[in-house]
Amino acid sequence: MSSENGKRLLETDAGGLNFEATELTLGLPGEPRVTSDGGAKLGSKRGFSETVDLKLGDNNQEVKLGHSLQEAAKSPVSKTQVVGWPPVRGFARRGKKSCKYVKVAVDGAPYLRKVDLEIYNSYQQLLTSLEDMFSCFTIRNYLNEKKIDQVNGIEYMPTYEDKDGDWMLVGDVPWQLMKSSEAVGLGLKTAPKYSSTN
């Protein structure tokens, strides 16, 4: 039997955390982080599948990301958790009360991603996660009007389709409202979609 392996990647991503300081390493509390034998920082794990595709707590079959995405995918991996610990299998979530899956499509990308809105607590978390998933595209951080580093000069506007079938701009309604209204309906018809501007 398996249980959620606790890869709550974005729950701990409370924005602005200094990941270096919270990175867990082998050794008792208070020990210096760099060990004397140089290279091996024991206990800080380089996750394997985490750097390849972000399995956000489910085992839906997802399209494997290309190599370029691996690099970007590394950073949001929760640094406050060690890979594979505790040793609980990640094939299915246990005891999760609800999940709100939506399909995410980006114009021009050949694949969709499935995202569980349940694990995010704010638009910021969602956008950060999506940006890492689709890091070859630049996603405009509409909420803060911040320009995120441009990779190829094209910006994307995060939009979503609500239950009436209308395309809405992400950020118009409070997070909780969007989350609860989007997941309504049979199956997972709603799909936040990113359409390119300019």
Alpha-carbon distance of 19 to 10, in angstroms, equals 13
Q: Which residue of 22, 49, 176, 196 would you call a contact of another protein, by CB under 8 A?
A: 49
Residue 171 within binding range of another protein, rule CB under 8 A: no
Specify the amino acid at residue 172.
D
Alpha-carbon distance of 34 to 19, in angstroms, equals 15
Q: Give, as one character, the DSSP assignment of residue 39.
A: T
Q: Where are the alpha helices (DSSP H) in the chain?
A: 19-22, 49-52, 67-74, 123-133, 175-182
CB of 89 to another protein, least distance (A): 5
Q: Which of residues 138-157 bind another protein (CB under 8 A)?
A: none
Q: Which residue of 19, 23, 45, 112 would you call a contact of another protein, by CB under 8 A?
A: 45
Please give the C-alpha separations between residue 119 and each of 8, 21, 101, 138, in angstroms, as whole numbers: 7, 24, 10, 23
Q: Which of residues 4-43 bind another protein (CB under 8 A)?
A: 4-6, 8, 24, 26, 28, 37-40, 42-43
Residue 90 within binding range of another protein, rule CB under 8 A: yes
Return the number of the residue (97 or 146) whose C-beta is nearest another protein: 97
Query: Where along the sequence are the contacts to another protein (CB under 8 A)?
Result: 1-6, 8, 24, 26, 28, 37-40, 42-43, 45-52, 58-61, 70, 81-92, 94-97, 186
